[in-house]
Amino acid sequence: MQRAVYDAEHEAYRDSVRRFVATEVVPHRERWEAAGRVDRELFRAAGKVGLLGISAPEEHGGGGNADFRFNAILNEELGAADVLGAGLGLSLQADIALPYLVDHCTPEQAARWLPGVVAGEAILALAMTEPGAGSDVAAITTRAVRDGEHYVVNGTKTFITNALNADLVITAVKTDPAAGRKGISLLVVEADRAGFRRGAKLAKVGQHAADTAELFFDDVRVPAANLLGEEGRGFYLMMNHLSQERLAVAVQATAQARRAYELCAEYAKSREAFGSPIGSFQHNRFVLAEMKTETEIAQSYVDRLLLAHSRGELDAVEAAQAKWWTTELCQRVVDRGVQLHGGYGYMAEYPIARAWTDSRIQTIYAGTTEVMKEIIGRSLGF
Ligand SMILES: Cc1cc2nc3c(=O)[nH]c(=O)nc-3n(C[C@H](O)[C@H](O)[C@H](O)COP(=O)(O)OP(=O)(O)OC[C@H]3O[C@@H](n4cnc5c(N)ncnc54)[C@H](O)[C@@H]3O)c2cc1C
């Protein structure tokens, strides 16, 4: 499929990303999945070649480039190499958490945190979800009480990506429980603070290299100087940043769907049944035709949003549309891909089988399909 979204500079960048994925990721995937987390060295290696801080200011080691298409390329190349779904935490760092720091740090905070984050020395987590509050972020109960020049934080977060490796946790807290969403603030909590504790890695059905876990805050004293943005503005900061997060997931879902189609097309040529390649049976040809068609249509829409975002014009409703539709599509494509592979499609050594379990989360995190439809529905003015 011809794509008009990238220019020569992007494609040159893609070459270096492809080399990075081939040398620093692919050889380690199985080991990281078995260990249940990636090596911290992955982040340092990504930092070294400039993958983690594209949008960060140059004075702090970043690329000074707000063009999200560069971020998209990393996701696409990880997808093409069958390692995106392992759950590496790079997207969480570069696409999702870093923008909070880039957009809302004071100059002092930026100097304190950004160089380490961009270099991959400091790993980020973003902790919104709690055992009792996921989709309904405003219902969080983690409390931060001001005490002189500190906040004292108490509460529990769950399902947090990068939880075991994280050095800095951007944490959603209630600073004014009576004020609803206007009482939410963001605090950056260093993982070596007294009273901060990580739970055991949660056993997931997929994304086995992702160190998803609970985080516990017991009277953690956090300097007021770690407040990100204004007190009481945290909910709005999160809502603003979710559009890019949703576009990132749409890029990933589309990359995984495209890769699933390629895997199936190759398999349908080489696998024979009843004396013919399985792709020669009309049903399977139609399945492949549908996969190809739907994936290319999804790609066109995602590319349009990537271009819009590169101009600073990403629309929240369109990001929600892309998120729910591409992630549901990815699941359809991958599920049919498993079927097309027969018994081999159920074997973990086959990328299509891993894609099936790894991609299942996509319709849930970064806002569920149902929440996306709520956002879209509310915009219709009924
Ligand atoms: C692998 C993984 C990684 C994650 N990483 C992070 C992370 O790094 N940081 C973080 O903060 N969180 C993270 N999450 C949490 C994730 O964002 C939440 O699981 C998600 O937002 C859904 O919240 P919930 O699980 O509480 O489900 P609930 O909100 O309880 O939803 C349950 C069901 O009800 C539906 N529902 C809820 N509200 C509505 C409504 N208004 N209308 C219709 N249906 C509705 C939902 O769509 C869903 O089907 C992660 C989760 C997983 C599994």
Give 120-178 pLDDT, tens digit per residue: 999 999 999 999 999 999 999 999 999 999 999 999 999 999 999 999 999 999 999 99
d(CA 279, CA 340): 9
Q: How far is the CA of 344 from the centre of ligand 1 (A)?
A: 32
Q: Whose CA is nearest to atom 26 of ligand 1?
A: 134
| Spatial CA neighbour of 130 closest among 179, 184, 207 | 184
Q: How far is the CA of 204 from the centre of ligand 1 (A)?
A: 15
When computed from its CA atoms, the radius of gyration of the chain, rounded to whole angstroms, is 21
d(CA 247, CA 243): 6
Query: For residues 173 and 219, is the Cβ–Cβ distance under 8 A?
Result: no
Q: How far is the CA of 130 from the centre of ligand 1 (A)?
A: 10
Neighbour count for residue 192 (Cβ, 10 Å): 7
pLDDT at 314 over 90: yes
Q: Whose CA is nearest to atom 17 of ligand 1?
A: 365
Q: Which amino acid is at 5?
A: V
Range 256-269 average pLDDT: 98
Return the domain boundaries, the chain: 8-122, 125-232, 236-378
Q: Report pLDDT digits (tens) over 15-65.
A: 999 999 999 999 999 999 999 999 999 999 999 999 999 999 999 999 999
Query: For residues 381 and 285, is the Cβ–Cβ distance under 8 A?
Result: no
- What atom in ligand 1 is closest to the CA of residue 96? 8
pLDDT for res 240:
95
pLDDT for res 287:
98
- What phi and psi, each to the nearest 5 degrees, are found at residue 218? -120, 100
pLDDT for res 247:
98
Q: Report pLDDT digits (tens) over 105-120.
A: 999 999 999 999 999 9
Range 298-317 average pLDDT: 97
Contacts of 130 (CB under 8 A, 6+ apart): 140, 141, 142, 155, 156, 157, 158
Q: Could you tell me what percent of the chain has a pLDDT over 90?
A: 99
Q: Which amino acid is at 127?
A: A
Question: Is any ligand 1 atom within 6 A of the Cβ of residue 375?
Answer: no
- The one-character DSSP state at 68 is T
Question: Is any ligand 1 atom within 6 A of the Cβ of residue 30?
Answer: no
Confidence band of 258 (pLDDT split at 50, 70, 90): very high
Q: Is 245 a catalytic residue?
A: yes
Confidence band of 377 (pLDDT split at 50, 70, 90): very high
Q: Could you tell me what percent of the chain has a pLDDT over 70?
A: 100
Q: Quickly tell me which residue has 């480039």 as its tokens.
A: 65
Contacts of 132 (CB under 8 A, 6+ apart): 139, 141
Q: How far is the CA of 353 from the centre of ligand 1 (A)?
A: 24
pLDDT for res 187:
98
d(CA 112, CA 225): 11
Element (H, E) at 91: helix 90-91
Q: What's the CATH number for 236-378? A: 1.20.140.10
d(CA 71, CA 54): 8
d(CA 120, CA 165): 11
Q: Which amino acid is at 365?
A: Y
Q: Which residues pair with 172 in a beta bridge?
A: 186
Range 339-368 average pLDDT: 98
Q: How far is the CA of 134 from the centre of ligand 1 (A)?
A: 5
Q: Whose CA is nearest to atom 6 of ligand 1?
A: 160
- What atom in ligand 1 is closest to the CA of residue 367? 21
Fold (topology level) of 8-122: Butyryl-Coa Dehydrogenase, subunit A; domain 1 (1.10.540)
Range 336-341 average pLDDT: 98
Confidence band of 328 (pLDDT split at 50, 70, 90): very high
In this structure, the dihedral spanned by the alpha carbons of residues 159, 161, 165 and 171, taken in order and rounded to 10 degrees, is: -80
Fold (topology level) of 125-232: Butyryl-CoA Dehydrogenase, subunit A; domain 2 (2.40.110)
Range 65-86 average pLDDT: 97
Question: Is any ligand 1 atom within 6 A of the Cβ of residue 154?
Answer: no
Query: For residues 142 and 157, is the Cβ–Cβ distance under 8 A?
Result: yes
Question: Would you mind telling me the total number of residues written for the chain in this entry?
Answer: 382
Q: How far is the CA of 153 from the centre of ligand 1 (A)?
A: 23
Element (H, E) at 73: helix 69-80
Query: For residues 70 and 63, is the Cβ–Cβ distance under 8 A?
Result: yes
Question: Is any ligand 1 atom within 6 A of the Cβ of residue 90?
Answer: no
Output the CA torsion sign for 300, 301, 302, 308.
Answer: positive
Confidence band of 302 (pLDDT split at 50, 70, 90): very high
Q: Quickly tell me which residue has 């050095």 as its tokens.
A: 167
pLDDT for res 16:
96
Question: Is any ligand 1 atom within 6 A of the Cβ of residue 172?
Answer: no
pLDDT for res 1:
86
Question: Is any ligand 1 atom within 6 A of the Cβ of residue 365?
Answer: yes
**Over the chain, what is the mean pLDDT?**
97
Of 123, 126, 130, 135, the one to substitute when testing ligand 1's pocket (max ligand atoms within 8 A of C-beta) is 135
Between CA 75 and CA 85, with CA 79 as vertex, the angle to 5 degrees is 95
Active-site residue identified among 76, 245, 294, 318? 245
pLDDT for res 153:
98
